[in-house]
Structure 1
Amino acid sequence: MRLTRTVHDNWSVSVGSGPAPEPIVSAVVPASVPGVVHLDLLAAGLIPDPYLDDNESALAWIGLVDWHYRTTFAVTQTEMATSARHDVVFDGLDTVATVRLNGVVIAETANQHRTYRVDVGTSLVVGENTLEVLFRSPVRYANEQSVALGVRQRPYPLPYDAIRKSACSFGWDWGIKTTTSGIWKPVRLESWSTARLASVRTQAGVADAATGVVDIDIAVERAGDEPLDVVVSVAGVTVSAELAAGDTTLTASVAVPEVDLWWPVGYGAQPLYDVDVRLEASGSILDEAHRRVGFRTIAWDSTPDDAGTPFVLKVNGVPVFVKGANWIPDDAFPVRVDRARYARRLRQARDANLNLIRVWGGGIYEADDFYDLADELGLLTWQDFLFACAAYAEEEPLRSEIEAEARDNVTRIAHHPSLVLLTGNNENLWGYEDWGWKLRLDGKTWGAYYYYELFPAVIAELAPGVPYAPGSPFSPGSTDERPLHPNDEQHGTMHIWDLWNQKDWPHYRDYTPRFVAEFGWQGPPTWSTLTRSISDDPLTPESPGMVVHQKAMEGNVKLTNGLIPHYRLPEDMETWHWAMQLNQADAITTALEHFRSFAPHTAGAIVWQLNDCWPVTSWAAIDGDEHPKPLFYALRNAFAPRVVTIQPRDGGFVAAVLNDSADEWTGDLRLTRRGYDGTILSEHVDSVAVASRGVATVQIPDAVATAGDDGSELIVAELSGIRGLWFFGEPRDSALEAPRVSVAVAEHADGVAITLIAGNLVRELTLLADKIAPDAVAEEGLVTLLPGESTTIVVRGLTAAQAPAVSHPSVLRSANQLVVR
């Protein structure tokens, strides 16, 4: 039987060489494994928190230092004699390292994204053993490799493209630069005899409506040549197969009758089945492996149609409108993200009515817990290979490292039922076409081999059931005879960034993409996160700490330019903060309702981005302290199973009724034009029947659609208590008055229930409850009330004694406050 023990104790870290300050240069610091050097130095009190104020720049020296990790562990004579083989296994080293055991070099590594297994039988001794991992400065190594490989195009100064390390650890337009080093995943000593399971790949399919099939591909590593038995069990069905003497690979198949299908959230249940694999010799168990699978079929339909090339996800043959968000590492030090934190984030995603998470290509391949939880929650996953916004060399040593990491990670994650797409890169096909790369590369390689040859071949070999796209964005069907731009609106996937960078957000309605995989608008983090991480006095949008925590090029200029067409620019910081958060929510609401109204022509929308990795002004819906921003409520509202939205079309207006539920939606759609005082000025009723997973559009009659006064009238479309609103005038040009809202508080099992009663028209009421208690969260937000209407919002994490503070105008926020001076 394989014997495994972790080697996580008694580690220390010290400076090897580089510009470390005293007293760190001479310190031997206790080290956590798994861990990274920043967190060890922070725990020892030797550096300040990198996330606060401008500590990022004060700690830039860490990435220029070589760091040495060291531990000792004991091995007994019995342990040594019991097994024929002894392997040291590193699940992840960040990044360029020399590994020594008892002074003997056992490995040289240069890839954060792969595993390393080393036979140490000739170096391991009975008694005390010394294990050392000597890390090179990632910044200096990347710079050296950039020169050796040839400088290539990228949007940021440091050459993250020349090293197989998380690109965003070198800093991004939402991310802190860490360029850290460390043993960031588990390390263990594995001892075994005869044979072990080197890899186990499972692929679950559906043979017919009632029968599931699990195909298992097994590779073994041998320390002997005797015959072996492989036993596979799934849902009470067991099959056995013999591995002949000397053979190292075996394929088996298990048919499982009467299986239940796995579905994404909102489409059905998520039944999961355990697959148990045993490797035996003469009846003794040598090794075991366990996987969980779900039975479903996956396909992306890109059959050309009259409008271009669609990109439609089908699960079990059923088209699924993708309601997604992009995912970045949830902490700039990913080692701090444990299963509980993954669970909190992914549950927030599901609560926001998302059904897909795209793991962006500038971060990491997430831990097994991420994919396990996605399987359980019914959240589809789309995993980029780790290439982002840059040209990548196809020469050695990168070429071999990239193949090794692809094989490692495809093998590790491909069995998950939630995984519906592997993608070659983020924006590199687009960059090659549009960002001047062709001229500046001057004939150098840029990554095409990986995207068009290597990755498809690896997937065909290791995970033939997982769909693949060469990049995001990408236009399927492009050929030399029929070249398609990779970011073509009418073909495949599209990224839309000209609005944030150059235009106003109503221009989202200028696009009708087949599938939009990235688009976003910035907003600051929650107030409690902002004031915890920045100690500027006074705190202003342009104060030093705020500038450090705004990484986008001209980010604050774009925030201002994007606000003023809609709201007046506030003079005080707290109102500025609210204005920018609300404008972010408005921008994404506009985009999502527009895109959904064009389904099935538009088959999905993936917002940039779900989460943050530290406290920062960014495109995220959930900030670096895990707190939801108003954008979170915008996602939940716009991605709700049933939505009524009013959209401008062909010089008039339509009410679009969006039904992403399993049942037909029927009823009377009531259309009214009203004054801000609630008076009905015109009315029309239409009977509608919207098919399951369907969209219906109803033309709004001119009498309702034509305002007498743009600044004081709106359209209301309501069906089954769900309504959409259209305001003819921008808030800043309207007759909105100061909000008159009465507040009533009641105790609730989850906190307190806040009932809000509107004395006048109040737009987008939102409780910024974190201002009262940092962990307080309102369950609803962005609620518009007509005069006399009320709503009750449960606030978790708030006590009855704290609840009266919700009526303070800095907590009880509305769009009205941004109009009335």
Structure 2
Amino acid sequence: MSYFLKNSSKLFTFCLLILFGSIQTIQAQNQYELNQGWKCTPIKSIKENGATISNPSFSLSAWKPAVVPGTVLTTQLANKEIPDPFYGMNNEKIPDIYNTGRDYYTYWFAKDFKEVKPNDDTQVWLKFRGINYSCEVFLNGKKVNEKLIEGMFLRQAFNITKFLSNDGNNRLAVIVYPPDHVGNANGGQGGDGTIAKNVGLQYTAGWDWIRPIRDRNTGIWDKVFIEKTGKVNLKDPHVITIVPEKRLPEGIQKPAIIKASADLENTSEQSINGTLVYSIDGSKYTQKVSLAPKSTKTVTLADITLKNPRLWWPAGYGKQELYDTKFEFIVNEKVSDKEEVKVGVREIQSNWNSHTLSRQIYVNGQKVFIKGGNWIISDAMLRFSKERYDAEIRFHRDMNLNLIRIWGGALVERPEFYEACDKYGLLVFQDFWMSGDCNGRWTDPMKKEDQWTRRKYPDNHALFLESAADMIKMVRNYASLAIWCGGNEITPPEDILVPLRDEILPKLDGTRWFVDYSNSDAMSYNSIGGNGDGPYGIQPLKVFWEQRTFPFNSEVGSVGTGDLESLKRFIPEANLKVPYHNSNEKPDSVWTYHTYTGVGYNEFIDPYGKAKDIKDFGLKAQLVNYDQYRGLIEGFSAHSWDWYTGVIIWKTQNPWTAMRGQMYDYYLDPNACLYGLRSGSELVHIMANPIDGMLMMVNNDFKAYRNLMLVAKAYDTKGKEKEITKVFTYIDATSIKKILSVKNILDEIGAEDGSFLSLQLLDENQKVVSDNFYWYPNQKGIYSGLQNLPTANDLKISAKKLSNGKVEVTLLNPHSKTIAFFNRVSLVDASSKERILPVFYSDNYVSVLPNSEKKIIIENVPENAKAQVSLEGWNVPLMYVEIK
């Protein structure tokens, strides 16, 4: 699959796998996936109808290989018919559907598969988890669907038993039509807005953080399954967990209540009597059921008491315990159908904080300060995989975040996303498919239609509600799902909002907080005007500390440009030059195309010395990145439970090769944003107010810390140390504590060349609880000392394998004066010296004080990789070391 990358050697096979999606068959006894051997052709190249095409005797020899799950563009890319749209200006070379017409991207997809028509009671089902936008389905010369299937967010299941061939040779043919309204990608947010007339994705017409997806993601974009059941099909199992009272993660737990139900579909012409069986924690619970012919019935078991439950907690607070549970329907001592569900036992609640004037979230009775990230979609061209989801959610866990918000211009995320959030402890704030931009909140000259018209989007309100109900059923069992939201910055139209809020959600879920839109006063009272979000873009750190914003801020963000190695992956060499963005000079067009918004960036980079070249720019950008996101989350944390109950960063990832708001790039290479945020988001954290120098402790944990030692040291840029304090201290649960101001000391030490501040909290075993390291400019705001920092030639690095997939790196600075400043550790290919991705670092961009050492753990190291560890810092020359 090397066509996706400019150089296939840049990443190992594992990364290619996660970029293109796994091709492994689902390991389930009664279900398998159709994900190989598909073929396709554009509608304009063929005159035959679906009945003819789906006949196994019809030749597909002229058809091309297709990517399913996938889109027309992913198939064209796989067949080298288009260049990689994420590289350089290649996207401009691909025809846009608005100009070509819908037929250009209307395609037939066909798949031959083996399945003999059963001669017993077995029923065979064809299941689609997502097709964009409408389609017709044929099997072995017969049309399967009675009417046109419409809507990107509707799962479809067809009983194909009668359509199967006796000899087991079957031909499936699907014609997929693009969205009805493709929208003019005119540069507006969602283009001209008409993309929102569909019940589908809005970003595909372009936004300020992405360029248009030329086929608007037309295709069989999600998984296709064949499932076998008996006469009774068990569908949409539902598990609710109730955890009364306030809990702690440790110790013996009081009982929890489990409520279990499932839909049972009788496919036969006769009444059927059977038993619904639910298994959890080694016990079985049953309910006798009688099903009328050709009917579907929701069956609820009696409440189950689960003794001493293993509870699920958000990341950082406790374990993410999951129970393997199973639903079965038994007829005459035989299993007609079964479904397995992983269950996290937890209860999520919310209430109104009358002091902050915002909602606050509780998990298992404990108040949680929300530190979240906004998420668009894993891949803008819908190339999803379990492996990529796992890596991205792990990055969010590693940033010490506890929530991800799914933005409303995308989709209800896939089960594999939610599985990863359950695994890593990330709560999820899930928007439905609305946006203030497309759906008419504001006047907008880029939009084709006026606000009153756009306010009625989408065209088909019944389809929206049907799709919402189906998506609720798909993801409602995941422990991580915490909040439903009507839309991004706007409510749905009233005839969607009311039944969604008052009927559908209570009936199908009823356990989560529903907020009508993402910056609603019901979530975060807007007492200061504006739209309820922001600020966006790079900010002086005092903004985050001193300027009060919205008390549960759903979008506040900054910059995210990667370093040189990241930039090289998508910017052609001719365009790899230092960007500028001021009144006199515009940045390179490729940078602008990839959403570089350098307004203010230079103002923050130049105090480190104007960038000499693109590599120097990339390094200095990381200093800015680290400082921005640490400062952002520290500023909000400093006012937790006083000004704020939560903050969600806009945004923490990019679904393509953009430079706006990302903690790691599209290729899963983290930049310094991730580690600055990781530092500032520690559960128990020591920090310094950048305005008045006040040292503060923040404790977001449920327990108090009674025996901590604070060690604070200042250094001048020549390495001279001054101990500020070394004192025992404590902090109560979910609280903030001010200690002392170090401003005068830092001003004195750093007046001429700037200074450093090292802060540590140690527990009673002298283990580091929090470690924070600041660098400060001189009194003129210039980092003159950093610009002349002596080279740390004596820094030693070693790497040893701890276990399969895990390497420990030790950085030792034996020098008595020089600080080894801002070092990036990377796992690299021994031959190419390029980074192996994705791997996970326990910390990075670290500074090593004189006569001290730092240890970094690298995880997810490929077993077959010929790897080395590289190190390069501000004043540390590039070096490589073998892994022992």
TM-score w.r.t. structure 1 length? 0.83
For residue 338 of structure 1, report the CA deviation from its aligned partner. 1.8
| Superposed CA offset, 1:55-84 (max 9, x none) | 1111234674233223254677x6154348
1:371 aligns with 2:415: no
For residue 161 of structure 1, report the CA deviation from its aligned partner. 1.3
Give ranges in structure 2 of 5+ residues lacking alignment: 1-27, 46-60, 246-252, 440-453, 581-585, 763-767, 802-806, 880-884
| Superposed CA offset, 1:193-224 (max 9, x none) | 53212322111113575222221232222233
- After superposition, where does 1:475-490 map in structure 2 within 5 Å? 475-476=521-522, 485=526
SS in 2 for 1:340: helix
Alignment match, 2:836: 775
Aligned mate of 1:646, from 672, 685, 688? 688
Contact 2:812 2:848 in 1 (8 A): no
SS in 1 for 2:503: helix
Q: Higher mean Cα deviation, 210-219 or 666-675?
A: 666-675
Q: Higher mean Cα deviation, 636-645 or 550-559?
A: 550-559
For residue 410 of structure 1, report the CA deviation from its aligned partner. 1.1
For residue 593 of structure 1, report the CA deviation from its aligned partner. 1.1
CA gap of 1:62–1:616, structure 2 versus 1, over 3 A, is same
SS in 2 for 1:177: coil
1:200 aligns with 2:200: no
Contact 1:87 1:190 in 2 (8 A): yes
Give ranges in structure 1 of 5+ residues lacking alignment: 19-25, 430-445, 479-483, 814-821
Letter in 2 for 1:250: V
| Count of matched residue positions in the alignment of Structure 1 and Structure 2 | 767
| Superposed CA offset, 1:765-806 (max 9, x none) | 444666942227665333345566554556676999966774
C-alpha RMSD of the superposition: 3.8
SS in 1 for 2:653: coil
Alignment match, 1:383: 430
Give percent identity, aligned residues only.
Answer: 20
Letter in 2 for 1:421: I
1:599 aligns with 2:635: no
Contact 2:129 2:223 in 1 (8 A): yes
Distance 1:804 1:672 in 2: 29
CA gap of 1:38–1:559, structure 2 versus 1, over 3 A, is same
Alignment match, 2:175: 134
Contact 2:712 2:758 in 1 (8 A): yes
Contact 1:707 1:728 in 2 (8 A): no
Letter in 2 for 1:781: N
Letter in 1 for 2:836: D
TM-score w.r.t. structure 2 length? 0.78
1:727 aligns with 2:776: yes
CA gap of 1:283–1:546, structure 2 versus 1, over 3 A, is farther
Q: Which has the higher helix share?
A: 1
Alignment match, 2:473: 411
Contact 1:75 1:126 in 2 (8 A): no
Aligned mate of 1:740, from 773, 777, 791? 791
1:262 aligns with 2:262: no
Distance 1:30 1:397 in 2: 35
Aligned mate of 2:729, from 666, 685, 688? 688
Aligned mate of 2:514, from 460, 465, 468? 468
Distance 2:368 2:671 in 1: 27
Distance 1:7 1:723 in 2: 50
Aligned mate of 1:251, from 277, 300, 316? 300
Distance 1:552 1:329 in 2: 17
Distance 1:510 1:499 in 2: 17
CA gap of 1:111–1:459, structure 2 versus 1, over 3 A, is same
Aligned mate of 1:631, from 652, 673, 682? 673
Distance 2:774 2:566 in 1: 32
Alignment match, 1:294: 344
Contact 1:380 1:420 in 2 (8 A): yes
- After superposition, where does 1:327-726 map in structure 2 within 5 Å? 327-335=375-383, 337-389=384-436, 390-391=438-439, 393-394=455-456, 397-428=459-490, 447-451=493-497, 453-476=499-522, 485=526, 495-500=533-538, 504-512=540-548, 513-537=550-574, 539-541=576-578, 547-548=589-590, 550-551=592-593, 555-564=597-606, 566-601=607-642, 602-647=644-689, 652-661=692-701, 662-669=703-710, 675-679=716-720, 683=724, 687-700=728-741, 704=745, 707=748, 710-712=751-753, 714=755, 717-720=759-762, 722-723=771-772, 725=774
SS in 2 for 1:169: helix
Distance 1:93 1:230 in 2: 32
For residue 690 of structure 1, report the CA deviation from its aligned partner. 0.8
Aligned mate of 1:15, from 33, 42, 59? 42
1:165 aligns with 2:214: no
Contact 2:811 2:848 in 1 (8 A): no
SS in 1 for 2:275: strand
Q: Higher mean Cα deviation, 237-246 or 102-111?
A: 102-111
Distance 1:682 1:385 in 2: 53
For residue 516 of structure 1, report the CA deviation from its aligned partner. 2.7
SS in 2 for 1:181: coil
CA gap of 1:505–1:16, structure 2 versus 1, over 3 A, is farther
Contact 1:166 1:363 in 2 (8 A): yes
Alignment match, 1:438: none
1:97 aligns with 2:141: no
Distance 2:413 2:367 in 1: 27
SS in 1 for 2:311: coil
CA gap of 1:111–1:515, structure 2 versus 1, over 3 A, is same
Contact 2:38 2:67 in 1 (8 A): yes
Distance 1:339 1:400 in 2: 32
Alignment match, 1:436: none
Letter in 1 for 2:654: D
Distance 1:94 1:811 in 2: 51
CA gap of 1:541–1:110, structure 2 versus 1, over 3 A, is farther
Contact 2:622 2:671 in 1 (8 A): yes
Distance 1:535 1:810 in 2: 28
